[in-house]
Chain A
Amino acid sequence: MVATFEPKTDYKVIGTRPIRHDGYDKVTGRAIYGGDLTLPGLIWGVCVRSPHAHANIKSIDTSAAEAMDGVLAVITGADMPEALDKLVDLGEGNVNFKWASNKLMADDKVVYRGHPVAAVAAVDRYTAEEAARKVVVEYEVLKAVTNVTDALAPDAPIVLPDLVGDDLGEDVTNTNMAEHVRHEFGDVEGAMASAAHTIEREYNMQMVHQGYIEPHNATAVWDEEDRIKIWTSTQGAFAARTQIAGILQVDVSKVKVTPLEIGGGFGGKIPVYFEPIAAILSRKSRRPVKMVMERVAIFETTGPTPGGRMIIKLGADSNGKLTAATADIWFEAGANPGSVIGPAAMCVYAPYEIPNTRIDGWDVVVNKPKTAAYRAPGSPQVAFAMESAVEELCEEAGWDSMQFRIDNVSREGTRRGDGVLFSKIGMEEVLEAAKNSDHWNAPLGDPPLGKKRGRGMASGYWFNIGLKSSVNLAVNSDGTVTLVEGSPDIGGTRVAMAMHVAEVLGIGAHDVRPSVVDTELVGYTDVTGGSRTTYATGYACWIAANQLVDELKKRVGILWDINEEDIDFSDGIFNSKAESEKTIGFKELAGKLADLGGPATSIGNVDLESAGDGFGLHIVDIDIDTETGKTDVVRFTAIQDVGTAIHPSYVEGQLQGGAVQGIGWALNEEYYMEEDGSMANSSFLDYRMPTSLDLPPIDTILVEVPNPLHPYGVRGVGETPICPPIPAIANAIANAIGTRLYNTPMNAGSIMEALS
């Protein structure tokens, strides 16, 4: 039975904005990120990477590198253990160790450009880089395939010859099609045939990258006891441990992962890249080995989210009610199976109640980096298609699209595209807030000379995950509480965890001292991802804090010589039910614990199903220079049901950051692929993420519909806000210039082409 909670509003700590505990180290430069670690005897590792996207390895000659002064180890794919062909759940996405291992270091074939074929460890980074250049690799270059259409063509080069595809349950061989899934409910064909209005459109999107500023890194020690110690920037130390142990074929207890501070991830720092390689280099050199990835390799070999092709068809009755929808979605998996077709299917129709729906999704292998989770993985893509189609349907039928969204809104009990029924959700409240917002009601205003102005809006959705978290609490004699957690803090979650505990104990947020620790100091905790941390780890904090109260009641019982059942606790004060004037505060009690049974600690463990569905809607005004196609975002408002905002500043920050990633995706970001399978724009210069000068202030409206599945009503908030901006901008462009774009990026060149 899932516990549910009634909403409260009379919080003392929840909803305030204390300074984050880790902030002081982060503004002074003292915080130790993965790349900042040093150890006695540390040496540096560098990968030798394939210049080809698709090639057979004929030979590798490492002798010149090995002969170089300062080189301490050289490895190739032959040094990688033979990993199991087995699928393991990592929380946000799965991993197959055989694919994962081959992805990290090629065996006999490279399947994406930059694919490591060897690695070198040397006394310093410069020497290691020089040595890596001396490794000679002979390739037989194969034709590369870099998009879903080419990959599914009958004569397509086969990326993975031993791939067995799953076509609705049937095995397929000699294919790049890894999986075809379908979700179908109701009488789709019948409903579509009888619809008064229909629209069918195709949308194409290019692959994009998470774009975290901190490079991937890892430091490894493989010690004499065959224990492997890893320090890294990861979204999940336990997920990293699972992968490292699986790839290296050792028990998880042989691997200790210490998560150092992490400089952004957005889903891209769930997979491991360097950790097993650094470990093998350490085993061979008997030295601590550190690796830091160069930016070109980050683009070419890590993380992206799929591009692909989508066809959406919508049917509505004459009253503006959606009756049927179909979605066909082809996503690039990258060089190994596993794109985000599943989440895409869960998200595509989520803001709408549609009685008859079908979704077909195809996971397609191409010679590009293996995709990883990226903020609401799969949802921004389908939001672009769905929200563009909704807007165009309304334009054609002459309907007000805000009213259309209200008339077709998802509610508690609405069936999602994959069949799941929604619990308490806040899409209606989001629409109401949007409709009443300053931005929506403000006149569009006149653009500067030579420009056209347009306004657009779009909804977005992410389902938010729960999963496993574990925390420990311990009372200090000065009345503070030590909080130990396993969730890497990627954006201010330490303070949110401390606030969960402080609210229960009636103490200040800064009386709780949070630490993120390694895999040997706390219970299993899933990744910081899926918008789960404040929800699930926060929930564990709440459990632990309540258990601590129970434990402390026992100590008060000793003090007063009464039963713990006869003691109340509220607002940080214990009092005797029988004698109400008999009280002791939390802090005073903490000072007496040494004589009242000694240490007081507690543990909170959770394994939760969902973090409560998250809905949002964004409104954007843009100006377009009709002679150059340049788009300027001039006003932006992000509206979202956030459940309860524990620390509103960091909730706003999630909405703002997600919105801006979406803006970048909409306008400029893309993997620009050359025919040979290389990425032409593998630098921050040419990848063109937004700078501060490309943006207006990002206004936020926090709608709080408390999530009944969390004691304070928290919903996951981090991922939803990347979904609406892409279609909102597409809709704004159509509004400004009267022409609609169906492909991303919607850059100046595309707009000029559309205008001509």
Chain B
Amino acid sequence: MHPFAYVAPGTVDEAVAVLDKHGDRARPLAGGTDLLVKARANAWELDAVVDIKNIPELMTLTVGNDGLTIGAGVPCYQVYENEEVASDYPCIVDGTAIIGGIQIQSRAGLGGNLCNAAPSADGICPLIVHSAVAHIAGPGGSRDVAVEDFCTGPSQTVLKNGELLVSISMPRPPSNFGAAYTRFIPRNEMDIAVAGVGVSVILDSSGQNFVSARIALASVGPTPILASAAGNSLAGKPINDDTIAAAAALATDASTPITDMRGTIAQRKQLINVLTGRMINQAVERARG
């Protein structure tokens, strides 16, 4: 591991200044569960790590009428142990409660999961189906990016040198909204998704028809994928096995998996098909309350 300096600024501006100074030889340190592994494996050679956990707005979770905002350094357990998040955003709990084991969840958070930009990230699909937005600070000011546009490739994001993810926010779910995320892994925890699917739906007041839906896929492309055609196919349709199967087939079409040590193309396509159906049903169940 290349020896790096440790900086722990107290404000976003200070953090941005340090990141800007070092360019791609500095990285923000939130939970460290990806960063320190990559630094130790010499995948990243860093001159400085910028611990963002002393910056209040990066460590704050707010939930209320305006929706949910999660600071970029908030660890998973603070998300899934929050009672309001658990009751109103169960899909966010689905994602945060399965990242690593308990030890990892004490440190790792959605901000780091997003910035790490693994195609298999369990935290990103739930954000996408909740229409979450990433708030970014940088030397040139602030900007917002939809989460589905945040990752640009494996370990690649829209963040430019000097930019820092500050928080992620999502609107308060409307009534008749439901969302769910699951993944397939060979073990029961401590594993990387072979394939993952997040689904959100809004139902009409009868609870029998889809108004709209969003479907996001993990581990079947270079980034988490918003499967728009699959989600849109459900809009205005009745809830039944046929419409769900059709959406699952479209989601499968949207996936572009590779064969690697974690699974084959055929296995991953099959999993997307199966998990999409299961998650639509679970999202519907949650929407119906």
Residues of A bordering B, CB below 8 Å = 126, 129-130, 133, 296, 627-630, 667-668, 672, 680-681, 685-686, 688, 690-691, 693-694, 747-749, 752-753, 756
Cα separation A474 to B132 with both chains bound (whole Å):
73
In the complex, the answer to whether B184 meets A630 with C-beta atoms within 8 Å is: yes
Say yes or no: A688-B187 contact (C-beta < 8 A), given A129-B1, A130-B3. yes
- Complex contact B187–A749 (CB within 8 A): no
The reply to whether A685 and B189 form a contact with Cβ atoms under 8 Å apart is no
> Which residues of chain A come closer than 8 Å to B263, judged between CB atoms?
749
Check: B74 CB closer than 8 A to any chain A CB. Answer: no
Given A627-B274, A628-B274, the answer on whether A667 and B186 have CB atoms closer than 8 Å is: yes
Q: B262 within 8 Å of A by Cβ?
A: yes
Stretch at the interface among B21-29, B46-54, B238-246, B264-272: B264-272
CA distance A375 to B150 in the complex (A): 48
Q: How large is the interface on B (under 10, 10 to 19, 20 to 34, 35 or more residues)?
A: 20 to 34
CB of A672, distance to nearest CB on chain B (Å): 4
For B192, B261, B274, the residue with the greatest tally of chain A CB atoms inside 10 Å of its CB is B261
- Find chain A residues with CB under 8 A from B192 CB: 685-686
Determine the chain B residues whose CB is within 8 A of the CB of A747 once the complex forms: 186
| Contact between B271 and A680, CB atoms less than 8 A apart | no
- The 8 Å CB contact of A685, one of B188, B190, B260, B266, is B190
User: In the complex the two chains form, is B260's CB within 8 Å of A680's CB?
Assistant: yes
Q: Closest approach, in angstroms, between the C-beta of A47 and any C-beta of chain B? A: 15
Give complex CA distance A629, B263 in Å.
Answer: 12
Residues from chain A with a CB closer than 8 A to the CB of B271 are 628
Can you spell out 10 A-B residue pairs with CB atoms less than 8 angstroms apart? A126-B1, A126-B3, A133-B42, A667-B186, A668-B186, A688-B186, A691-B187, A691-B189, A694-B188, A749-B263
B residues less than 8 Å from A680 (CB atoms): 260-261
- B57 within 8 A of partner (CB): no
The answer to whether residues A693 and B188 also contact, given A133-B42, A752-B267 and a CB cut-off of 8 A, is yes
Contact B187 A686 (CB under 8 A): no
Closest to A668 in B: B186
Alpha-carbon distance between A439 and B3 when the two chains are bound, in angstroms: 57
Q: Using known A-B contacts A129-B1, A672-B261, A686-B261, determine if residue A752 contacts B270 with beta carbons closer than 8 Å.
A: yes
Instruction: Say which residue of B188, B260, B274 sits within 8 Å of A691 (CB atoms).
Output: B188
Complex Cα–Cα for A690 and B189 (A): 10
Question: Given A130-B2, A628-B271, A752-B270, 19 more contacts at CB 8 Å?
Answer: A129-B1, A133-B42, A627-B270, A627-B274, A628-B275, A668-B186, A668-B187, A672-B261, A680-B261, A685-B191, A688-B191, A690-B187, A691-B101, A691-B189, A691-B190, A693-B187, A693-B188, A749-B264, A749-B267
CB-defined contacts of B101 to chain A, threshold 8 Å: 691
Chain A's closest residue to B101 (CB) is A691
**In the complex, which residue of chain B has the Cβ closest to the Cβ of A751?**
B267
Contact: A686 with B262, CB < 8 Å? yes
- Among B1, B187, B266, the one with the most A-chain Cβ atoms within 10 Å of its Cβ is B187
Complex Cα–Cα for A691 and B42 (A) = 28
CB-based contact A694/B2 at 8 Å: no
| Interface contact A748-B189, CB-CB below 8 Å | no
Contact residues of B between 10 and 65, Cβ < 8 Å to A = 41-42
Q: Name B residues whose Cβ lies closer than 8 Å to a Cβ of A.
A: 1-3, 41-42, 101, 184, 186-192, 194, 260-264, 266-267, 270-271, 274-275
Residues of A within 8 A of B261 (CB): 672, 680-681, 686
Q: Closest CB-CB distance, B181 to chain A, in whole Å?
A: 16
CA distance A133 to B42 in the complex (A): 10
Nearest A residue (CB) for B45? A133
| Chain B residues near A629 (CB-CB < 8 A) | 267
Q: Which residues of B contact A756 (CB under 8 A)?
A: 266, 270
Nearest 9 interchain pairs by C-beta: A672-B261, A680-B261, A693-B188, A627-B274, A749-B267, A681-B261, A668-B186, A693-B189, A694-B188
Residue of B nearest to A125 (CB): B1
**Min CB distance, B28 to chain A, in Å?**
22
Whether A748 and B186, one on each chain, are in contact in the complex, defined by CB atoms closer than 8 angstroms, is yes
**A747 vs chain B, min Cβ distance (A):** 6
Of B1, B3, B267, B274, most buried by chain A (CB within 10 Å of CB) is: B267
Contacts of B194 in A (CB 8 A): 748
Residues of B within 8 A of A693 (CB): 187-189
CB distance from B264 to the nearest CB of A (A): 6
With A133-B42, A688-B186: A748-B2 Cβ-Cβ less than 8 Å: no
- CB nearest neighbor in A for B259: A749
Given known contacts A130-B2, A133-B42, A748 and B190 CB-to-CB distance under 8 angstroms: no
**A512–B176 Cα gap in the complex (Å)?**
71
CA distance A374 to B154 in the complex (A): 37
Cα(A642)–Cα(B229), bound, Å = 62
Give CA–CA (A647, B41) in the complex, Å: 43
A748 contacts B267, CB within 8 Å? yes
B264 pairs with A748, CB closer than 8 A: no
Please measure, in the bound complex, the distance between the C-alpha atom of A685 and the C-alpha atom of B186, giving whole angstroms.
11
Contacts of A685 in B (CB 8 A): 190-192
Residue among B184, B192, B275 with most chain A CB within 10 A: B184
Complex: A688 Cα to B263 Cα, angstroms = 13
Q: How far is the CA of A133 from the CA of B2 in the complex (A)?
A: 10
How distant is the Cα of A680 from the Cα of B259 in the complex, in angstroms? 12
* B-side contacts of A628, CB under 8 Å: 184, 270-271, 274-275
Instruction: Please state if A748 and B184 are interface contacts (CB–CB under 8 Å).
Output: yes
B231–chain A nearest beta-carbon distance, Å = 22
* B184, closest chain A residue (CB): A628
* Measured CA separation A668–B190 after assembly (Å): 13
Chain A proximity of B262: nearest CB distance (Å): 7
CA distance A691 to B260 in the complex (A): 23
**Nearest chain A residue, comparing its CB with the CB of B278:** A627
In angstroms, how far is the closest chain B Cβ from the Cβ of A682? Answer: 10
* Complex alpha-carbon distance, A372 and B192, angstroms: 29
Chain A residues near B1 (CB-CB < 8 A): 126, 129-130
